[in-house]
């Protein structure tokens, strides 16, 4: 049986300002009706498989859980990495978890943020690779290249292997090569023996661990220690943090695939794209007669070969060619198509200046709902808060700020010191500094309220949390 492993870590900084550190591109709906994570899970429908296992960062756990829940996607659990250590350790955690259950499944390793237009071709390639993986080969999927791309690594094929369904050819891996310059990439395409390195794999859990132990024993040992006593919290699976922090940081390519004698590449021609930039997204989108992609409320006059994405406001653009414009509630990006790889430098500068825009949107999602920071000043901040039915914010208090809550719609169950009150539309309450309080939605519809904070310090780390149904630890996460 195949156990899909969806790698949902990463920050997706090259798609800023839509992608943020706390809500990166794998959670965005960039194409179609579903997020990239949800779409990755849905495309497995043509493959017999066990419920998917997802690996993500601790800070993204509620986004993953919510996206799986709303799409009713069955899962085998969500493994939480306390720190990022690249793909080789992450896959090792999944393999050890699978073997710990007494199984030795084929692990189908997928990234959560790739686009695949021909899902039937994807499923065919995976199904054709199963016999090789069952014979203890480490299968990687090489994308049949359509252009001399410089943003991808390449895989050179070696001797052909006849296997599987319809006598489909696979190849021994001759070598992995780094991202080339344009001339070298052109040579690869002309040669015909090179594929784009997709970062997708299929192998037995035991085979991967055996090869990892042989070629990267320090990673194997650290992961083994981290998985010695995993903690299960509903859907979440936590590993030993100190042990995993001691693990070397390395990719599966460097740690295993470039060293093993059992690497095999199966060609895949499926309309694959890793959507690593705004220009890459423009390339795969449907365009109008002038080569433009317009999203949202856009008016374009004399615009050609451009990507314009309006999320909140009307965006009007005149007389520009080959540009990217992306508008959000708190940031606007304007760039030449040829310069979009520089977006990462913007994110680095925002981070260096301790600005919030690199990390999260104005609208922030929480396990209980979301809040939108509407306005702020030196001693005040205004938020619009949405609490899902049955959800509850933590029991908490603040040392430096008071809060005034006004219910806009729905019903609020408010704990204010030693009193509990039910508030409905147009009713309000005041929470003084230092008073223990909580907010809950006991109703069947969303609770909408306005929160006005006032005080000498309004940052989100001014929280002392006494009780929380979501297992959060103060003061890391707000509200």
The answer to whether domain 2-272 has CATH 3.30.1110.20 is no
User: Would you state the pLDDT for residue 80?
Assistant: 96
User: Would you state the pLDDT for residue 475?
Assistant: 43
User: Would you state the pLDDT for residue 477?
Assistant: 46
User: Would you state the pLDDT for residue 96?
Assistant: 97
Homologous superfamily of 363-467:
Jelly Rolls (2.60.120.10)
User: Would you state the pLDDT for residue 169?
Assistant: 81
Listed as ranges, residues in the chain with pLDDT below 50 are 164-165, 474-478
Note whether 2-272 and 363-467 share their fold: no
Domain boundaries, the chain: 2-272, 278-343, 363-467
3-state secondary structure the chain: CEEEEEECCCCCHHHCCCCECCECHHHCCCCCCCCHHHHHHHHHHHCCECCEEEEEEHHHHHHHHHHHHHCCCCEEEEEEECCCCCHHHHHHHHHHHHHHCCCCCEEEEEECCCEECCHHHHHHHHHHHHHHHHCCCEEEEEECCCCCCCCCCEEEEEEEEECCHHHCEEEEEEEEECCCCHHHHHHHHHHCCEEEEEEEEEEEHHHHHHHHHHHCHHHHHHHHHHCCCCEEECCEEECCHHHHHCCCCCCHHHHHHCCCCCEEEEEECCCEECCCCHHHHHHHCCCCCCCCEEECCEEEECCECCEEEECCCCEEEECCECEEEEECCCCEEEEEHHHHHHHHHHHHHHHHCCCHHHCCCCEEEECCEEEEEEEECCCEEEEEEEECCCCECCEEECCCEEEEEEEEECCEEEEECCEEEEECCCCEEEECCCCCEEEECCCCCCEEEEEEEEECCCCCCCCEEEECCCCCCCCCCCC
pTM of the complete model: 0.89
User: Would you state the pLDDT for residue 151?
Assistant: 87
pLDDT digits (tens, 9 = 90+) for 292-339: 999 999 999 999 999 999 999 999 999 999 999 999 999 999 999 999
User: Would you state the pLDDT for residue 364?
Assistant: 87
Handedness of CA 448, 376, 60, 283 (dihedral sign): positive
């Amino acid at each position: 049986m195949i156990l899909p492993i969806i790698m949902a870590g990463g920050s997706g900084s090259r798609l800023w300002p839509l992608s943020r550190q706390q809500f990166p591109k794998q959670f965005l709906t960039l194409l179609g009706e579903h997020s990239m994570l949800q779409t990755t899970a849905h495309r497995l429908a043509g493959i017999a498989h066990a419920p998917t296992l997802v690996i993500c960062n601790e800070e993204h756990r509620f986004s993953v859980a919510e996206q799986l829940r709303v799409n009713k996607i069955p899962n085998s659990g969500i493994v939480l990495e306390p720190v990022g250590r690249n793909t080789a350790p992450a896959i090792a955690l999944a393999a050890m978890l699978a073997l710990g259950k007494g199984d030795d499944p084929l692990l189908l390793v997928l990234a959560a943020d790739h686009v695949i237009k021909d899902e039937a071709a994807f499923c065919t390639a995976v199904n054709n690779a199963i016999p090789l993986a069952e014979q203890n080969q480490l299968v990687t999927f090489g994308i049949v290249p359509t252009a001399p791309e410089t943003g991808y690594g390449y895989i050179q094929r070696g001797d052909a292997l006849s296997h599987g369904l319809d006598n489909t050819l696979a190849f021994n891996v001759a070598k992995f090569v780094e991202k080339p310059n344009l001339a070298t990439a052109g040579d690869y395409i002309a040669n015909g023996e090179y594929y784009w390195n997709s970062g997708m794999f299929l192998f037995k859990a035991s085979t991967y661990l055996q090869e990892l132990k042989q070629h990267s024993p320090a990673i194997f040992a650290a992961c083994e220690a981290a998985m010695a006593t995993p903690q299960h919290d509903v859907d979440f699976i936590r590993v030993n943090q100190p042990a995993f922090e001691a693990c070397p940081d390395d990719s599966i390519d460097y740690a295993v695939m470039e060293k093993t004698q059992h690497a095999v590449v199966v060609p895949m021609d499926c309309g694959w794209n890793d959507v690593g930039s705004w220009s890459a997204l423009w390339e795969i989108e449907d365009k109008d007669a002038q080569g433009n992609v317009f999203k949202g409320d856009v008016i374009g006059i004399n615009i050609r070969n451009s990507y314009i994405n309006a999320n909140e406001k009307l965006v009007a653009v005149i007389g520009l060619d080959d540009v990217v414009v992306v508008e959000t509630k708190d940031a606007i990006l304007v760039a030449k198509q040829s310069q979009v790889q520089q977006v990462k430098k913007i994110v680095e500068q925002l981070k260096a200046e301790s600005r919030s825009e690199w990390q999260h949107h104005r609208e922030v999602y929480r396990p209980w709902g979301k809040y939108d920071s509407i306005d702020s000043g030196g001693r005040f901040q205004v938020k619009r808060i949405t609490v899902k039915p049955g959800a509850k914010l933590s029991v908490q208090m603040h040392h430096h700020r008071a809060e005034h809550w006004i219910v806009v719609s729905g019903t609020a169950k408010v704990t204010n010191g030693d009193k509990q009150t039910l508030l409905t539309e147009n009713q309000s309450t005041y929470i003084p500094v230092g008073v223990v309080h909580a907010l809950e939605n006991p109703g069947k519809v969303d609770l909408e309220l306005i929160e006005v904070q006032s005080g000498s310090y309004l940052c989100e780390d001014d929280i002392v949390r006494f009780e929380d149904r979501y297992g959060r630890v103060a003061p890391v996460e707000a509200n």
